Structure 1
Amino acid sequence: MFSLTVADHVMIAHSFRGEEFGPAQRVHGATFVVEAEFRAKALDQANLLVDIAAARVELRKILDGFDYTNLDTLPVFAGQNTTTEYLCFHIHAELCAALKQGKLGAGGHKVEALKVLLRESPLAWAAYEAPIDAALA
């Protein structure tokens, strides 16, 4: 299996609902390093998995939708606890849509799986990984 990873970062504010979150129920900030790992069994005719520049651009576009923003104010996150795990899931869905639309180059149609990982610190991170077909169904 081939893989290609692109990375970026995002700064957000948010709060959580539920006693299990303790003091994180109050508005607080977080900075995440975001990694998107594309996986495929085969490369395209140019020996590419995806267009790395296009992958970086699409990841940045997704992150620009909520960078330097209080997630509690965005309709796309209404009713959700925007945990690190949930943000991985959200970014995964957006990148799968970009793949389906052909925004990551000709090789993008061969991508079988995607893993999105958010690093909250050197000591804590979360990820969401799923086959592309499952996300597009």
Structure 2
Amino acid sequence: MFSLTVADHIMIAHSFKGEEFGPAQRVHGATFVVEAEFRAPCLDRANLLVDIAAARVELRRILDAIDYRNLDDVQGFAGQNTSTEFLCHHIHGELAVAVKEGRLGDSGHKVEAIKVLLRESPLAWAAYEAPLA
């Protein structure tokens, strides 16, 4: 299996509901390094998995919707604990749509799985990976 990863970063604010979150129930900020890994069993005729430039553009487009935002105010996130794991799943879903719509170049149709990893710090991160349906 071949893989190709592109990365970017976001800065967000949010709060969590539930006593298990302790002080994180108050509004606080986070900076995430976001990695999106695309996997395919083979390369296209030009030996590409996906167009890197297109993958970077799509990842940035998705991240622009939440970058420098308070996620508590983002439509579609209301009432959700926007944990690192939740955000991985959300970004994965948006990237899956981009792949299915052909926005990662002609070779993108060979992508079988995507993994999204968010690094909160050098010591803590979360990921979501799944095959494309």
The Cα of 1:7 is off from its aligned counterpart by 0.1
Q: Which amino acid aligns with 2:84?
A: T
Give TM-score, length-normalised by structure 1: 0.96
Cα distance in 2 between the residues matched to 1:88 and 1:61: 15
CA-atom RMSD, angstroms?
A: 0.5
Q: Deviations over 1:22-81 (max 9, x none)?
A: 000000000000000000001111111000000000000000001000000011211210
The answer for the alignment partner of 2:49 in structure 1 is 49
The answer for the alignment partner of 2:87 in structure 1 is 87
The answer for the alignment partner of 2:78 in structure 1 is 78
SS in 1 for 2:128: strand
SS in 1 for 2:43: coil
Identity percentage of aligned residues = 80
The answer for the alignment partner of 2:110 in structure 1 is 110
Unaligned runs of 5+ in 2: none
Runs of 4+ in 1 over 2 A off after TM superposition: none
The answer for the alignment partner of 1:7 in structure 2 is 7
Q: Which has the higher helix share?
A: 1
Unaligned runs of 5+ in 1: none
